[in-house]
Amino acid sequence: MLLAALLVAIALSSVAAEVSPSLFWAKIGNFTGYFGRLLHLDSGALVFSDPVEWFWGIGRWLRLLGETLVMAYVGTVLGAIGAFFLAFLAAANVTPNRWLSMAVRRFCEFCRTVPGLVFALMFVIAFGLGPMAGVLAVAIHSLGTLGKLFSEVVENIDMKPVEGVSSTGAPWHVAMRFGALPQVSSSFVSYALLRFEINVRESAVLGFVGAGGIGMDLFEAIRKFYYSDVSAILVMIVVTVALIDILTGMIRHRLIDLVEKH
């Protein structure tokens, strides 16, 4: 009965979303054909046959890719700093005021619910084209997401150290510093690194609305049908994200091992 209900729900959802299997099979050639064109230079030769021609703009693309990484890094740092302070106010078990906790939670929900592209477009309109709009968009979205994750980490701490510090007459911020922070610091760093990985990918897309980075050249290449340029830029983005994923994964596992040992 559950399987039948699931199939009915899928069928109804497909109708509502105008999913057409016949149209999919009829147009699938356009999709695969586009990827085929990405693998050929303007001369018709395969991109692998002439790497110099394929990556003719590597100097500019590397500079824009570096700009994308800086956008993701600065935005993540700013968002993580904001989320760090908001997390202790939002966590139900340590917040000094229940209404303050609800207000902070709603604020974080707003920051992470509005798509990053929307924030980027708003900041482009306000501050003009460039990476500043992208940094602000990444920072706000990161604040909302990390604020939720950080507060959930705080809510799962052992309250005995916090109660012990508070029993000495220490103020709330001192209790958080010496009772809660030692328990959550490694998790905070781990989540921030994970968010940095995500932000690198998102920062590459923000360029589509003029928020700086490699996305601006990628969007222009897609719009002008520069197929080999699209594939070259995508290769650079994929390799960069993969390297960052490996490095941050190693750091996160190292942090987990240190926590387990102590």
Per-residue pLDDT of 11-44, as tens digits, reads 889 888 888 888 888 888 888 888 888 888 888 8
Per-residue confidence band for 146, with pLDDT thresholds at 50, 70 and 90:
very high
pLDDT tens by residue, 175-219: 999 999 988 988 898 899 989 989 998 888 888 888 888 988 998
Are 185 and 69 within 8 A, CB to CB? Answer: no
Q: Give the pLDDT confidence score for residue 34 in this predicted structure.
A: 82
Are 143 and 79 within 8 A, CB to CB? Answer: yes
With 90 as the cut, is the pLDDT of residue 250 above it? no
Q: Give the pLDDT confidence score for residue 212 in this predicted structure.
A: 83
Q: Give the pLDDT confidence score for residue 41 in this predicted structure.
A: 87
- Spell out the residues 6+ positions from residue 235 whose beta carbon is closer than 8 angstroms to its own: none
Average pLDDT for residues 55-80, to the nearest whole number? 93
Q: Encode 55-91 in three state secondary structure.
A: CCCHHHHHHHHHHHHHHHHHHHHHHHHHHHHHHHHHC
Query: What is the CATH code for 71-261?
Result: 1.10.3720.10
With 70 as the cut, is the pLDDT of residue 77 above it? yes
Q: Which residue has the higher pLDDT, 252 or 67?
A: 67
CA distance 131 to 259: 37
> Which has the closest alpha carbon to 134: 236, 238, 205, 217?
205
Q: Give the pLDDT confidence score for residue 45 in this predicted structure.
A: 86
The residue type at 258:
L
> Which has the closest alpha carbon to 120: 139, 104, 105, 107?
139
Mean confidence (pLDDT) of the chain: 89
Q: Pull the structure tokens for residue 84.
A: 């760090």
CA distance 146 to 128: 27
With 70 as the cut, is the pLDDT of residue 262 above it? no
Q: What percent of the chain has pLDDT over 90?
A: 50
Per-residue confidence band for 261, with pLDDT thresholds at 50, 70 and 90:
low
Q: Give the pLDDT confidence score for residue 259 in this predicted structure.
A: 62
Half-sphere exposure of 44 (CA within 13 A, CB side): 0
Backbone angles phi, psi at 152, to 5 degrees: -70, -35
Residue 181, number of CB atoms within 10 A of its CB: 17
Per-residue confidence band for 105, with pLDDT thresholds at 50, 70 and 90:
very high
Record the pTM. Answer: 0.85
